[in-house]
Amino acid sequence: MIVELVSTGTELLLGQIVNTNAPFLAARLNELGFSVLYQTTVGDNRERMRNVLTAALERADIVITSGGLGPTQGDITKEVTASLLERKMYLHQASAERIEKYFAERHLCMPDNNLRQAMMPEGAKIVDNTCGTAPGVIVEEESTGKIIINLPGPPHELSAMFKISIVPYLIERFGIQGSIVSRVLRTYGIGESSLEERIKKYILAQSNPTLALLARNGEIHVRITARAENEAEALKLIDALENKIRPELDEYIFGTNEETLEMVVGNLLLNKSLSIALAESCTSGLVTSLITDVAGSSGYLTGSIVCYSNSVKIEQVGVPENIIAVKGAVSRETAEFMAQGIREKFQTGIGLSVTGIAGPGGATADKPVGLVYIAIDGPAGLTCFEHHFNGTRTNIKHRTALAALNHLRQYLLSI
């Protein structure tokens, strides 16, 4: 069954709120085996909304809307749906009573316009709202077999209604549609075009499973998606294709699905019983922050110092004053002394340092914006990496932090 999601609300088009309903619905529907092939966003305009719903009904079996079921004059989704399907609106008494009870239980005075939420298209199935006042609506068009489902816009209301009422309805109405399962291979250190070249033959030959490349915050994700009668069969298809792809990308793959670099690094430190301390200059503690985003990071992170000034590098981290005077704060030598110094200061298994020029100022002819040194000192010895990043100050800091985590990952794997 083909599904189109229609998100309504001018605030979405203005960028005033982020649409979290569409990804939630898409993920849940795909788990049920429904094919979400289209997503549309339309403002609170009757003519444009009618045009969008008309187009959606022409190309999808089920159209699910979110938003526009509130009490104000701008909440028109249900009315446009009724008009399009030539259904008259009537006051659904049970819904009206439920709304009145909702306000009474909270000792609130109910505005008269809240009864607009109890106005329903004739012949529609009414879906209770367990978290709010706006009921949902299911309208089945017998002549075409098409269905429009109106869901409320507030995410907590929509998700509860979908799980409690819509999922059982879809399963009862259409049965099990099979299973659509995805697995994401997360890579770092290779560009999108270079990655594509390595697995191009599999991309060109794809059918089921399908392959897609996605650039995400400095990483490149390889998404493998399979359709089968059940999840187990879909996973077998994914496993078979992944086994072909991995040899081409193995050095760059650091995790799957929700695994982040900081999670992978944390697990490696725990498994190897190693502690870590960090000395950060241009990243200002960002690497440490990412590491501590992982629950349980106190099991391996001992401490860190943001050594932004030269005096802190010298007095707190142990960089020799003459090294900074001769080589500069942004240099391979300074980074190496920082890694060694922080490791010795905190008596840890690993010392990691970062120094660089995030910009937009501070550059020289031989030390441009984006020049970064990342050093690691530990059981495998002292090593240092030079990078040249571009972008805004924030971009450079973020890319440096990811590079530091990836170098740490590789270092730990070598032990």
- Domain residue extents for the chain: 2-174, 179-256, 261-414
| Percent of the chain whose predicted confidence (pLDDT) is above 90 | 94
pLDDT value of residue 112: 87
Q: Supply the pLDDT for residue 260.
A: 97
Q: How far is CA 202 from CA 193, 196, 205, 227, 270, in A?
A: 14, 9, 5, 17, 36
| Residues 111-152 pLDDT 10s | 988 999 999 999 999 999 999 999 999 999 999 999 999 999
Confidence (pLDDT) at 228: 93
Q: Using CA atoms, how far apart are residues 93 and 50, in angstroms rounded to an integer?
A: 27
**Is residue 242 very low, low, confident or very high in pLDDT (cuts 50, 70, 90)?**
very high
Which pLDDT score is estimated for 176? 79
pLDDT over 90 (residue 344) = yes
The predicted pLDDT at position 175 comes to 87
The DSSP code for 109 is: P
Query: How many Å apart are CA 126 and CA 402, to the nearest integer?
Result: 49
pLDDT at 238: 98
Identity of residue 9: G
Helix axes 46-59, 77-84, angle to 10 degrees: 60
Rounded average pLDDT over 217-240:
95
State the Cα angle at 396 between 394 and 401, rounded to 5°.
95
pLDDT value for 177:
87
Residue 48 burial (CB count, 10 A):
13
Provide the CATH topology of domain 179-256.
Alpha-Beta Plaits (3.30.70)
pTM of the model: 0.81
Check whether 356 has a pLDDT greater than 90. Answer: yes
Average pLDDT, the chain: 96
Give the tens place of pLDDT for each residue, 323-338. 999 999 999 999 999 9
CATH number of this structure's domain 261-414, picked from the four choices 3.40.50.300, 3.40.1390.10, 3.40.50.10320, 3.90.950.20: 3.90.950.20
Residue 283 to residue 400: CA distance in whole angstroms: 7
Give the whole-number percent of the chain exceeding pLDDT 70.
100
Residue 179: is its pLDDT beyond 90? no
Tokens describing residue 220: 């490149």
Pick among 3.30.70.260, 3.40.50.620, 3.30.70.2740, 3.40.980.10: CATH of 2-174: 3.40.980.10
